């Protein structure tokens, strides 16, 4: 009879940043193992539970014993298992004995195959595994496969046995319906008792009556919300409610990672409101928000304009009648943190960013690429070249590029590395450098992640491009390429940042020219790897375009030409999509592929000019005339950036191209005719592949 199953492992406090993943992995692996052993069906529903002190899973429809399963086992070749008289050999009898069968089973053996390949097969019924044995195996597998950040060893109660797990385990529950399943792990024997909340539980030990009552009993008797998702949702609800009570339209900062971490720290959340002295608001709010989130796990409250208020939300694990002691304690704890931030901010402003510049010469950037000071000079050179190409204020670009890394030497960034760039912007404004330079310094790390905003002004875009290109060219130049899932220098992210800026800011820049400018800043310090880097960037671009919904064929058709102005790619893709919808598209794409294959086989150069006197066949005359008529229109549309019109003009070629291949022999015996027809195909190929390589659209 199938019943629902509950397994819980009660442990000491689990690492909060890993809890969600641990709970999902524990439930998923254990359930998969039960399904694989036939104890649960493929439609079994696994509900994970994960709190600071427990990992658990509830699985529906688990059998007490798996169904018997017919199996067919390959024994050995007939020539080995049977002698000339058809009697079993010693080898066969030994094999049967190992499988728990005797000589009487010989008569029931099947023969499969023919001749020398004929094999003896034993059909038998494999008894279904009992739940206790199957669950034991599943639990051991689930624990072995947990994505544990760091394993610790500890001794069991006997004082001798040492086991290894993420944290010491103190209890094991295994219930099949209302019955305890006899399993053991980590020195623990399964039972039905678990432990409730440390301080809020009605009774310390919760005796579970049934697998299906786990969550309700823990909530009612143990004061624990066992499900991670349910606990997280409750915190979100309470945060919104607490913010509503504060009033004024304030909202807690949105931070999914912080929300997950706090969910992993409490078993029954209770959101409270705290406050700090308004004088601390003179410190940049990024500093205060970061210290409250990172060090105290608080949710700062922002007003309707996104400015920090002096209120914050505490997610407590206890709910006393009088919360003043809890709130007061948290307010006392956060005050020194905020005071430290204010001290760092005040101290840092006593020195200008420019005065910190020599210190960068003492900070190693990379043992093969020199110091941060040397890196700054390369970024300045690259930024100057980009600014010249775009006509951006060269002086502002140079000041921003020169000072962009100086905040790395400040106390604030030393304490909170996440604030690099941000603090540079604040200190630049304090130094009187103006908003344009200050914003560029703050923004030069952007975009820092997928979906992040781009730099706000042109100076910031130039410095951000220079900074990312210096990293890419330098690392490729010394062979530090990403491998598999390892990318220690975030080169994939840098490449996507360059792509986004070139495309979204519609920059009139050639990718090859950018890479050459960046490589020139290194001189002989690196090997020239711009070719490999260009491949890397186009590869990242292709992946990004496919994620945006373009088909692989569309992307390949456009990127095969390696367009240098990445800002044009969206219009090229739109043109290819519009062309592919034309009734003539498939035939022209196939013809284009055929033309390309013909031209590849030609030895030597193909003539540029087509001689009219050598056009002898009506079909080639018609093709030449049609091409001469539409090429100027297609070229003009291409030059104006109307790629859709440029491609659609080619539709008129469909008939003449088909007729040409039907009635004209390209490789004519006459060398002059052959060369002229090859020249005609060369012109056709060039005309058809200015926007994209249309052959890539051919099935």
Task: Please give the DSSP secondary-structure letter assigned to residue 483.
Answer: B
Structure tokens given for 359: 């210190």
Q: Please give the full DSSP string across 420-442, using - where no structure is assigned.
A: TTHHHHHHHHHTT--HHHHHHHH
The tally of CA atoms less than 13 A away on the side-chain side of residue 580 is 22
Residue 569: the pLDDT is 95
Q: How far apart are CA 178 and CA 192, in angstroms?
A: 9
Give the burial class of 104: count Cβ atoms within 10 A of its Cβ; 0-12 exposed, 13-18 middle, 19 or more buried.
Answer: exposed
Backbone angles phi, psi at 251, to 5 degrees: -135, 145
% helix / strand / coil in the chain, to the nearest 5? Answer: 55, 15, 30
Residue 235's pLDDT is 98
Alpha helices, DSSP H, located in 640-670: 643-648, 654-663
Distance CA(38)–CA(565), nearest Å, equals: 58
Reported residue count of the chain is 699
Strand partners, 227: none
CA 280 to the chain's CA centroid: 37
pLDDT the model gives residue 699: 65
Q: Which CATH architecture has domain 365-549?
A: Orthogonal Bundle (1.10)
- Of 653, 672, 694, 691, residue with least CA distance to 609: 672
What is the C-alpha to C-alpha distance for residues 375 and 357, in angstroms, rounded to an integer? 12
Q: Cβ–Cβ contacts within 10 Å for residue 508, how many?
A: 11
Using DSSP, state whether 455 is helix, strand or coil: coil
Which pLDDT score, from 0 to 100, does residue 430 have? 97
Q: What is the DSSP string of 602-633?
A: --SPPPSSPPGGG--SHHHHHHHHHHHHHHHH
Instruction: Give the closest residue to 111 by CA, choosing from 82, 86, 80, 78.
Output: 78
Using CA atoms, how far apart are residues 668 and 620, in angstroms rounded to an integer? 13
Cα–Cα dist 517/498, whole Å: 14
Listed as ranges, residues in the chain with pLDDT below 50 are none
User: Which letter does DSSP use for residue 87 in this model?
Assistant: P
Enumerate the H helices of 307-421 as residue ranges: 324-348, 353-356, 372-390, 394-403, 411-415
Residues paired with residue 140 on neighbouring β-strands, in sequence order:
none
Of 193, 73, 199, residue with least CA distance to 125: 73
Which is nearest to 442 in space by CA: 431, 432, 427, 452?
Answer: 427
Angle at 92 between CA 87 and CA 96, to 5 degrees: 120
Rounded to whole angstroms, what are the CA distances from 109 to 70, 114, 126, 453, 487? 14, 15, 16, 71, 57
CB atoms within 10 A of CB 389: 16
Question: Alpha helices of 521-610 — where are they, by DSSP H?
Answer: 530-547, 552-559, 569-580, 585-600
Q: Domain ranges for the chain, please list them.
A: 3-66+130-222, 69-126, 228-348, 365-549, 572-697
- Of the candidate CATH numbers 1.10.730, 1.10.10, 2.40.40, 2.20.28, the domain formed by 572-697 belongs to 1.10.730
């Amino acid at each position: 009879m199938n019943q629902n199953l509950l397994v819980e492992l009660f442990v000491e406090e689990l690492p909060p940043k890993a809890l969600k993943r641990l709970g999902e992995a524990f439930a998923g692996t254990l359930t998969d193992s039960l399904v694989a052993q036939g104890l649960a069906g493929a439609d079994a529903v696994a509900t994970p539970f994960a709190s600071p002190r427990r990992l658990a899973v509830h699985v529906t429809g688990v059998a007490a014993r798996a169904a018997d399963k017919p199996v067919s086992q390959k024994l050995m070749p007939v020539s080995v298992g049977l002698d000339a008289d058809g009697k079993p050999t010693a080898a066969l009898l030994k094999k049967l004995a190992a499988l728990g069968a005797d000589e009487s089973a010989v008569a029931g053996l099947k023969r499969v195959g023919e001749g020398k390949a004929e094999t003896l097969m034993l059909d038998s019924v494999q008894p279904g595994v009992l739940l206790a044995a199957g669950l034991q195996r599943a639990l051991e597998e689930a624990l072995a496969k947990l994505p544990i950040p760091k394993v610790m060893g500890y001794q069991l109660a006997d004082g001798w046995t040492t086991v290894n797990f993420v944290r010491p385990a103190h209890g094991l529950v295994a219930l099949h319906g209302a019955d305890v399943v006899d399993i053991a792990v980590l020195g623990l024997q399964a039972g039905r008792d678990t432990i409730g909340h440390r301080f809020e539980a009605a009774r310390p030990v919760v005796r579970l009556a049934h697998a299906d009552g786990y969550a309700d009993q823990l909530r009612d008797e143990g004061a624990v919300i066992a499900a991670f998702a349910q606990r997280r949702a409750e915190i979100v609800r309470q945060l919104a409610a607490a913010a509503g009570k504060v009033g004024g339209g304030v909202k807690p900062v949105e931070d999914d990672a912080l929300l997950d971490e706090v969910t992993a720290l409490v078993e029954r959340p209770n959101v409270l409101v705290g406050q700090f002295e308004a004088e601390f608001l003179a410190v940049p709010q990024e500093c205060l928000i970061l210290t409250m989130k990172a060090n105290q796990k608080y949710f700062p409250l922002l007003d309707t304009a996104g400015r920090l208020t002096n209120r914050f939300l505490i997610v407590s694990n206890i709910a006393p009648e009088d919360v003043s002691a809890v709130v007061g304690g948290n307010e006392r704890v956060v005050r020194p943190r905020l005071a430290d931030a204010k001290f760092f901010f005040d101290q840092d402003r006593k020195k200008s960013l420019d005065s910190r510049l020599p210190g960068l010469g003492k900070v190693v950037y990379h043992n093969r690429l020199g110091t941060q000071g040397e890196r700054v000079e390369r970024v300045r050179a690259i930024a100057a070249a980009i600014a010249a190409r775009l006509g951006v204020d060269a002086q502002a670009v140079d000041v921003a590029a020169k000072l962009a890394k100086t905040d790395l030497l400040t106390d604030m960034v030393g304490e909170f590395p996440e604030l690099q760039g941000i603090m540079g912007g604040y200190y630049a404004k304090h130094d009187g450098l103006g908003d344009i330079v200050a914003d560029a310094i703050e923004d030069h790390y952007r975009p820092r992640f997928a979906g992040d905003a781009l730099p706000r002004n042109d100076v910031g875009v130039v410095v951000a491009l220079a900074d990312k290109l210096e990293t890419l060219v330098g690392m490729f130049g010394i062979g530090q390429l990403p491998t598999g899932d390892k990318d220690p220098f975030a080169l994939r992210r840098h490449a996507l940042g360059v792509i986004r800026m070139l495309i979204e800011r519609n920059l009139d820049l050639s990718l090859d020219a950018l890479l050459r400018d960046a490589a020139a800043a290194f001189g002989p310090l690196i090997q020239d790897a711009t070719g490999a880097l260009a491949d890397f960037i186009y590869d990242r671009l292709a992946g990004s375009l496919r994620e945006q919904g373009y088909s692989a064929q569309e992307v390949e058709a456009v990127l095969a030409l390696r367009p240098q102005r990445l800002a044009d790619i969206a219009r090229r893709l739109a043109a290819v999509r519009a062309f592919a919808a034309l009734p003539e598209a498939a035939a022209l794409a196939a013809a284009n592929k055929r033309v390309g294959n013909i031209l590849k086989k030609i030895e030597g150069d193909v003539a540029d000019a087509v001689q009219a006197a050598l056009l002898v066949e009506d079909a080639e005359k018609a093709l030449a005339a049609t091409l001469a008529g539409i090429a100027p229109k297609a070229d003009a549309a291409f030059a104006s950036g109307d790629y859709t019109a440029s491609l659609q003009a080619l539709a008129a070629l469909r008939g003449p191209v088909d007729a040409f291949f039907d009635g004209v022999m390209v490789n004519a015996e006459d060398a002059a005719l052959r060369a002229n027809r090859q020249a005609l195909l060369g012109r056709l190929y060039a005309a058809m592949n200015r926007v994209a390589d249309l052959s890539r659209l051919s099935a």
